[in-house]
Amino acid sequence: MEWLNYHHLFYFWTVMQEGSITAAGRKLSLAQSTVSSQLSTFEEVLGAKLFKRVGRNLEPTDMGHLVYRYADEIFSLGREMLESVRGQSITGPLSLKVGLVDVVPKLVARKLLEPAGKLSERVRLICHEGKDEQLLADLALHKLDMVLTETPLRSSLSIKAYNHLLGECGVSFFGVEKLANPLQHNFPYSLDGAPMLLPMAMSSLRGMVDQWFESINVHPVIIGEFDDNALLTVYGQAGEGVFMAPTVIEKEVELQYQVQVLGRTNRIRERFYAISVERIIRHPAVVAISEAAHQNIFFDPAK
């Protein structure tokens, strides 16, 4: 098994922190030539260049940036370990590693994650976006603290994790002013024959939408189907068709994309879950997210 030389990694990390080999040498009380030699040895071991020369300066390569991110995390964890072992309070920021399933609207994610940033203890948010199966695999390996998704964990996946329902809401329909004005009258029947932008047919939301349209005998003209919710919204902002978003972010959508609400329905319900490996949530940032979701974001005073 090949082992990492942490002295080499530390010298590299210090150069990145200080901005130059000369400054790193002063910080480490080492000659510039010694630091330079150690970096060269580290690059040989890795089989990759970590710096490139731009004029008189050294700038990190893409690989250099990647290695630095790992190094920063490694030395941050090391400091936390020492402080914890010595009974000291952890001075570094609390990290929250979130997996965001790509179908979750970004404005919803922002709204749900916002309470983590309001804790008295500073939280460093690390977001990874992707497909649910890959993110859940990372969760099982403890690479993530939680996965934020629209669908609960399926029993067919051999992953020991737990669903925490954050809340649910109906959906609102949006369009640019020119498109929205004539469709606001007699909604939702006005959507019959209207240009529509929808999520892909295999998504859970699309299934509910199709059933609802069928139940009210409304047949819009599907202009586009999208795997990427952000791209769908961009097309809606450009006036290509009517699009949907959770009612809980209705005001944010109107403001950010300069569109209008045509109407709303509660017969299509979007649900949002935090999936964690803990049956009872203990991570303080995840606790804050869950409590805010139940008490403020999805709170229904009629219930």
Note whether 9 and 42 are within 8 A (CB).
yes
Within this chain, do residues 106 and 212 fall inside the same structural domain, yes or no?
yes
- Give the three-class secondary structure for 128: strand
Within this chain, do residues 62 and 109 fall inside the same structural domain, yes or no?
no
How many distinct structural domains can be found in the chain?
A: 2
Chain centroid to Cα 115, Å, comes to 15
Within this chain, do residues 149 and 81 fall inside the same structural domain, yes or no?
no
Note whether 159 and 139 are within 8 A (CB).
yes
Q: CA nearest 58: which of 91, 24, 83, 92?
A: 24
Within this chain, do residues 77 and 143 fall inside the same structural domain, yes or no?
no
Within this chain, do residues 141 and 18 fall inside the same structural domain, yes or no?
no
Alpha carbons 53 and 212: distance in angstroms, whole number: 60
Residue 1 belongs to a domain:
no
Residue 192 belongs to a domain:
yes
Please tell me the predicted confidence (pLDDT) of residue 303.
Answer: 42
Note whether 197 and 232 are within 8 A (CB).
yes
Query: Which CATH number characterizes residue 11's domain?
Result: 1.10.10.10
Alpha carbons 298 and 292: distance in angstroms, whole number: 9
Range of the domain at 222: 93-303
Burial class (CB in 10 A: 0-12, 13-18, 19+), 75: middle
Within this chain, do residues 78 and 116 fall inside the same structural domain, yes or no?
no
Alpha carbons 80 and 264: distance in angstroms, whole number: 49
Note whether 266 and 136 are within 8 A (CB).
no
Within this chain, do residues 178 and 273 fall inside the same structural domain, yes or no?
yes
Please tell me the predicted confidence (pLDDT) of residue 69.
Answer: 86
Within this chain, do residues 47 and 104 fall inside the same structural domain, yes or no?
no
Six-digit token pair at 14?
């210090």
- Give the three-class secondary structure for 238: coil
Please tell me the predicted confidence (pLDDT) of residue 302.
Answer: 40
Within this chain, do residues 61 and 180 fall inside the same structural domain, yes or no?
no
Other C-beta atoms lying within 10 Å of the C-beta of residue 44: 10
Among residues 56, 85, 114, the one where a domain terminates is 85
Alpha helices in the chain (DSSP H): 6-18, 21-28, 32-46, 62-85, 106-113, 132-140, 177-184, 204-215, 229-237, 250-257, 284-292
Six-digit token pair at 7?
């002295």
| Number of H-type helices and E-type strands within the chain | 11, 10
Q: CA nearest 8: which of 47, 40, 49, 48?
A: 40
Among residues 85, 120, 150, the one where a domain terminates is 85
Within this chain, do residues 282 and 213 fall inside the same structural domain, yes or no?
yes
Within this chain, do residues 260 and 164 fall inside the same structural domain, yes or no?
yes
- Which mean pLDDT values do the consecutive 10-residue runs of the chain (303 residues) have? 82 90 89 90 91 84 89 81 60 81 91 91 90 88 90 76 92 96 95 95 88 96 92 94 95 95 94 89 90 84 41
Alpha carbons 139 and 141: distance in angstroms, whole number: 5
Chain centroid to Cα 283, Å, comes to 17
Please tell me the predicted confidence (pLDDT) of residue 85.
Answer: 67
Other C-beta atoms lying within 10 Å of the C-beta of residue 57: 10
